[in-house]
Structure formats: structure tokens, C-alpha cells
A and B are shown apart, each in its own frame.
Chain A
Amino acid sequence: MAKSVIVVDDTYFYRESMKDILKEAGYNVIAEGVDGAEGVELVREHEPDLVVLDVVMPKLSGLEAAKKIMELGLKTKIVICSSLSHEPMVDEAITAGASAYLTKPLEEEIIVRELKKVMGETE
């Protein structure tokens, strides 16, 4: 069965492009959120296989959202996707519980490869 994914990004542009990439790769995008707080709520409600979080968002940043999602104790994998890419940020994300850190601009190939790795689907 297709893995369920929730996309959380305050920018419609990124939500759309990320959704297209995910659908193309055979994932099932079940919901999308526009800020960190909404992201946490959506994950709590739908318990997806995967959540993709942007970092710079209103209300709750992606890193803070990742910490809260970890506290829920679900099986949901967390992937951070941001145009910020300096190392302390990546370290913080991994410490917060993220399984991968992807950078924008979105590169379809890289994203799909990394997600497959995270989901344990590598051929």
C-alpha cells in the first residue's frame, strides 16, 4: 500500500511542488499544513507514515514541530526540507528526531532517493 505523507510548508509553491514529486514517486499525500502547529495537529490526527516539514514557518518552526511530533511517540518518520542548510541547523534537526535533512531548491531525484532510504524502501 502506498505510504501516507503529510506535507507542512507555509509556502503554497513548495507544497504544490513537493506534493507533485511525492505523488510521482507513488506516495499518498493525505494532508497538508501551513505552519508548524498545524503540522503537529495533522500528524496527531492522521498518524501518517511520513511528514515533510519546512523549517522557517509561522507559529512553530519545523524544528520545534519535529520535537513535538517525536513526543507523540508515533511511528511517523520526520523529514526536514529547508533552504537553510548550515550544519548546526542540520545537527539540530537530527537531534530533534528528523530522519533526513533535505535542502531546497527541490531536486526530485535526490528527494525521492532520500525518502526511499528513510522509508526503508531502497532497492
Chain B
Amino acid sequence: MDTSKYKKIYLEEAHTHLSGIESALLSLGTAPDEVDHLGHDSTIDNLFRHYHTLKGMSASMGYDAPKELAHVHESLLSKLREGEISVTDSLVETLLDGFDVLKELISIVEEESDRTVDCTELIKRVEAAGEPAPEESSERAAPESATAAATGTSKEPLQPEPQPRSNGESPARQLRLSKTMKVESSVFDELLTTVGDLYMELSSFRNTSSTSGTPGTIAFKDSVFSFGKTLKRLHTSILTARMLPVASLTEALPRVVHDLARSLGKEVELRVETGNISLDRSILENLGGPLLHIIRNSVDHGIELPEERTGAGKRPRARITLRAYPKREQVVVEIADDGRGMDVERIKAKAKSAGYSLEQLSAMTRSELLMLVCIPGFSTSAEVTETSGRGVGMDVVKNSIEAIGGTLAIDSTEGAGTTITMELPRTTAIIKALFVSLSDELFLIPISKVMRVVEASAVEVGSGTYTIDDIEVPLVSLAPALGIENDTKKEQYAIVIVEADRTIDEADSGTQGPALAGIVVDDFGLEIDAYIKPLSPPMTHLPGVSGITVTGDGRPVFLVDVAQVTSSERR
């Protein structure tokens, strides 16, 4: 068989089977004693089928390592299915470890790498796990499988302790999105249709310009109007194409929670209810870190040990629920646990030692008090643990969420649990922008408009024009254009030379080339990728700005509307 042709299909299918295996294993692991015999059967059947197919496909492709490993798993699953052995925690761990290696073997195939993984020990362990264990089966298994175990073998049961992973780390340390995107074909159909419409409008422009052709005629205005409408549709189509389901980000979470809970001796069940909610790819990318942090916090600090939970009258197995649902134009992502909740009195005490007065604290609402944990450096060193204390606190989480145009709120009831709610925009506009300053205030100017930045003396600026490449460029001071006062007197200013929209008069006079203007600011800074949020009322009335972003340190910064700032001054 021509294997190269099928490799792509093999890999796609293998990944589907791997994720099927992972979720089936985790459901075996989370509730081994809650599932009845029938429920068990379907999970085990599924697992068997996944390993079986992986083995077969790998054999067809001549990939011996994954074939061998899938084969021993298939045999183990077959014994589980026949009731010869039963599900135990250590069996699940063996299967999960086996899964990690299987996944590794498949990525070796994918990368066409020369790496090899020695599976000898693992294969022995998987085979050993298939030996009936009389003690375990008398506890857990159904009566008929106990007899099967008894007739099995007289050998000592080989149930080695799960070996710690070589570096003690779970393979799923980060939430990552796949590099490739699946886009519904209808999206491309719509894109193509819209581009077709743009061409039609272009030809209508050509018509207008070759005949009567003066801007301002009804035909011209008509063309401009429908051009604008089509362009907007194109924009919407592209934004739609960038949308990814929230589920694509959360795939790795069940395993993270499983491994973390296990290492802390806790029992945690993660429920993911994200439905078919989608978000812009860049928003999802930036949501990974905060989400992981919140979940780790929850398992580490929020959730109690099983004994403590039982003592408090709770189920020993804690539950974390991750939900995503629409709310008007936004999407809400909510992480709720049923752990110990947050201690408001303790937060108050900490806030006091951090410099808050009693008066301030008593004036704060409960939710304001809870939000104090988002103040930089608020978590005390006593709380820093291996898991969550990586120098990243809730302040960073809150800032990251605000930087993608979202908001974060905390609700918590002592003894009953904590809920963290994030409201996020579905789409976002990321643009490259340049920081400029007016005394202490920062603003952003879209790079797409910036031709260059020059420094000029107060005298040059005072003349009202600046000559660059023999072109006299009109200057606009940013402060008055935005309606703010800036009394700072400086010797040197920065002039951002921008491409300005032509005024109607200039267009009429037939001037060629881009119209330039210089925006005078105190200084300029770095170029950043900014997530620009549209302004909401009453900010929509602010002159000279078109959007807002929040910087990494939580500071709101306005985006300068270059067209408005330059044209208002020149007209």
C-alpha cells in the first residue's frame, strides 16, 4: 500500500482516537465506584475500540511501536471487558501513563523524528496489570469476575505501584490551541461572495469616474454606501472564520485536574459545559493562562482534602464546573468550585496590614472585598505553593483578562465554594499601535497610519508646520485636539507624521499622493499589539479617540482617531 498517501488520514484518525482514549480513561478514573456495570461496559467498549483501531491502523502503516503498545492495551481492555480484571486506581494510572507514551509515539510519527521511546518497562507494566488481582477483585468486582479471577492463575498478583513520571510533571502543563484551524466551508463561500460584490462595486466606481464622475453625485454616494456595507460584511466573515470553540482550549483540562488532584491527595471531578460557544482565536489564546491559573488555584487552595470535606458534610469528591454561555454580545466563562470558599475576614485582615484603613474596608461591599485578592502581591508567601505560587497571582489573571477586553468578578461563600466569572468579547480587533505620551497620559496611534516619527524643537513646533522631504506638513497638537490641557513646557517634542484623510477641498483640487499631517506629542514609546475595544456610551462622545485598550499593568489607554484629529484641525 502507498503509505504516504494515508499518513495524513492516519494522523487525523489517531488524534481522534487519542482524545477519545483520554476522556474515556478520565471518566474511568473519576468515578470508578459510581458507575454501574452497564455504564462501565460502554466506556470499556469504547476504549477497546480505540486501541483496537489504533493498533490496526498502525500495523497497516508499518508503525511498529504504536502498534505494539496499542496491542498490549487492547488485550488489557479485552480482559476488563470480559470481567477477568476490574478497574482500580492503579490500573487507571497505568493506562494513563501508557496513554502518554502512545501519544508520544504518534507525535514521533507525525514529526518524522528519529527519537525512540523504550516501551519495554511500560509494556511489562500494562501486561502485569492484566494479571487478575484476587484482593482487588473481591473488593470491587462483580461476583462473576471474582470466580474468573480465582480460576485465573496461581501467580502472585503483579500490581506495581504507579511509577512517578520521570520529571514529576504532567505532560499537559499548558492549554494550547492546535496550530491548524477547521473552518466551515460556508465561511469561505461567504468570503468569496463578498469579494465578488466588492469587484462589482469597483466597476460601478469605474463607471462613475469615467462618466460624470464628480464626488458628491448621487451615483457616487450610492457606490460609497454599498462599498462600505460590503466591506463590513467582509470584515464580519473574516472575524467569523477566526472563531474557535471554547472546547478546543479546554480539552487538556480534565487531565490537568486529574494529575493535580492526585498529587495533592484530593478527589476532584471537572465538568466542562462549554456547548458550542466560540470565541476569537486570539482571545482564546490569551484565555489559556488565566484559565489554567484559576483552575490550579481552585484545586490547590479552594478544594479541601476528602476527610475535611466529609467532616463538613460534603461529598468527598469535589466538583469544579467550567461553563461558557452567551450573554448579549459577550461570552461568559465561569469557573465554580464547591470548595472551602474565601474567608472575607482574613482578606480584611491582610488588607489592613497592607495599608487599608478600617474605614475604607468597612465602606467596601462584599464583592469589592473579594476583589482585593486581585491587588498585586496580595497573596501572602504562606499561600505560595508548588502548584499555584509561581509568582503569578490573581492580579496578573485580572489584568490578562482586561487586556483582551474582558472583565473578571469573584463570588465566594465561605464553606460553600468560589465562582470566578469572566465576561469576554467574542471577537476582537488586534492592531499594532505606537505609544505616545502627553505629560503622564499615554495614548496609542495605529501604526498603519504612522509614516515616521521625528523629534523637533519647541520653536519648530511653534511654527505650525514641519518640512519633511520637501513637503510642508501641517502640525496638530494632540492635547487640544483631544480637549485636554497639557501645560508641560518642553524643549523637544516628538512629531508623529501620519497619513491623513484628505479633506473634501483637497480632493476636489486634485492633489496627488497621501496627505500628511504631524501630530505633536511630548514623547513616543514602544510599539505594541493592542486589543482595541470599541468605546461604549458615554465615552463614544469623547473627541479624537476611537477605542480603548488596557495595558499589561491594568492602565486604560485610548486609541487616537487619526482621521478625526487631523481633519478637525485643518478644516
Write the residues of chain A forming the contact surface with B, with a CB cutoff of 8 angstroms: 10-14, 16-17, 56-58, 83-84, 104-106, 108
Kindly list chain A residues whose C-beta atoms are within 8 Å of the C-beta of B57.
11, 13-14
Residues of A within 8 A of B48 (CB): 56
Within the complex, what minimum Cβ distance (angstroms) separates A66 from chain B?
Answer: 18
Known: A10-B53, A16-B6, A58-B49. A105 touches B13 (CB 8 A): no
- A83: chain B residues at CB < 8 Å are 52, 55-56, 59
Pairwise interchain contact B1-A56, C-beta atoms closer than 8 A: no
User: Which residues of chain A are within 8 angstroms of B56 by Cβ–Cβ distance?
Assistant: 11, 14, 83, 104-105
- A13 neighbours in B (Cβ, 8 Å): 6, 9-10, 13, 57, 60
Residue of A nearest to B13 (CB): A13
Complex interface: chain A residues within 8 A of B9 (CB): 12-13, 16
Task: Give 1 or 0 for each of B1-31: 1 = CB within 8 Å of chain A CB.
Answer: 1000010011011000000000000000000
Bound Cα distance A8, B10 (Å): 18
Contact of A56 among B6, B12, B49, B60 (CB under 8 A): B49
Q: Which of B12, B46, B48, B49 has the most CB of A within 10 A?
A: B49
Residues of chain A lying within 8 A (CB to CB) of residue B59: 83, 104-105
Q: Separation in Å of the B109 CB from the closest CB of chain A?
A: 13
Which residues of B have CB within 8 Å of A108? 1
B254 to chain A, nearest CB (A): 22
In the bound complex, CA of A83 to CA of B48 (Å): 13
* Cβ distance B365 to chain A, nearest Cβ, rounded Å: 53
* 9 closest residue pairs by CB, A with B: A105-B60, A83-B56, A13-B9, A13-B13, A105-B59, A104-B56, A11-B53, A56-B52, A13-B57
Q: Please name all residues of chain A whose beta carbon is closer than 8 Å to the beta carbon of B53 when the two chains form the complex.
A: 10-11, 56
Whether the Cβ atoms of A12 and B49 lie closer than 8 Å is no
Q: Which residue of A lies closest to B12 (CB)?
A: A12
Tell me the bound Cα distance from A106 to B10 in angstroms: 14
Residues from chain B with a CB closer than 8 A to the CB of A11 are 13, 53, 56-57
Min distance, Cβ A61 to any Cβ of chain B, angstroms: 10
Q: Once bound together, how far apart are the Cα atoms of A78 and B313, in whole Å?
A: 60
Q: A14-B57, A83-B59 are in contact. List 4 more A-B contacts (CB 8 A).
A: A10-B49, A56-B53, A57-B49, A105-B59
Residue on A with the closest CB to B2? Answer: A20
Chain A residue nearest in CB terms to B7? A13
Find chain B residues with CB under 8 A from A10 CB.
Answer: 49, 53
Shortest distance between the CB of A15 and any CB in chain B (Å): 9
Known: A83-B59, A105-B56. A17 touches B49 (CB 8 A): no
Q: Is the CB of B1 within 8 A of A17?
A: yes
Complex contact A106–B60 (CB within 8 A):
yes
Give A57's nearest chain B residue, CB to CB: B49
Q: From A16, which residue of chain B is reached at the shortest CB distance?
A: B9
Q: How long is the Cα–Cα vector from A11 to B12 in the complex, in angstroms?
A: 11
**A11-B13, A12-B9, A12-B13 in contact; A17/B60 too (CB < 8 A)?**
yes
The 27 listed contacts between A and B (C-beta, < 8 Å) are A10-B49, A10-B53, A11-B13, A11-B57, A12-B9, A12-B12, A12-B13, A13-B6, A13-B9, A13-B10, A13-B13, A13-B60, A14-B57, A14-B60, A16-B6, A16-B9, A17-B60, A56-B53, A57-B49, A58-B46, A83-B55, A83-B56, A83-B59, A84-B52, A104-B56, A105-B56, A106-B60
Q: Are B55 and A17 in contact (CB under 8 A)?
A: no
CB nearest neighbor in A for B55: A83
Closest residue of chain A to B48, judged by CB? A56
| Chain A, residue nearest B56 (CB) | A83
Compute how far the CA of A49 lies from the CA of B319 in the bound complex, rounded to whole angstroms: 54
Give the distance in Å from the alpha carbon of A105 to the alpha carbon of B10 in the complex: 13
In angstroms, Cα B14 to Cα A14, docked, is: 12
Kindly supply a per-residue 1/0 record for chain B positions 35-63, scoring 1 wherever the CB is within 8 Å of any chain A CB and 0 otherwise.
00000000000101100110111011000
CA distance A104 to B6 in the complex (A): 15
B424 → A minimal CB distance (Å): 35
Which residues of B, 290-310, contact A by the 8 Å Cβ criterion? none
A30 to B49, CA, bound (A): 26
Complex Cα distance, B9 from A64, in Å, reads 28
Contacts of B13 in A (CB 8 A): 11-13
User: A11 vs B48: C-alpha distance in the bound complex, in angstroms?
Assistant: 14
CB nearest to A107 among chain B residues: B1
Interface centre among B48, B49, B56 (most CB of A within 10 A): B56
- For the complex, give the distance between the alpha carbons of A7 and B49 in Å: 18
Asked whether, in the complex, the Cβ of B49 is within 8 Å of the Cβ of A106, the reply is no
Whole-angstrom distance from the CB of A25 to the nearest CB of chain B?
A: 14
CA distance A84 to B10 in the complex (A): 19
Q: Which A residues are CB-close (under 8 A) to B52?
A: 56, 83-84
Complex: A12 Cα to B56 Cα, angstroms: 12
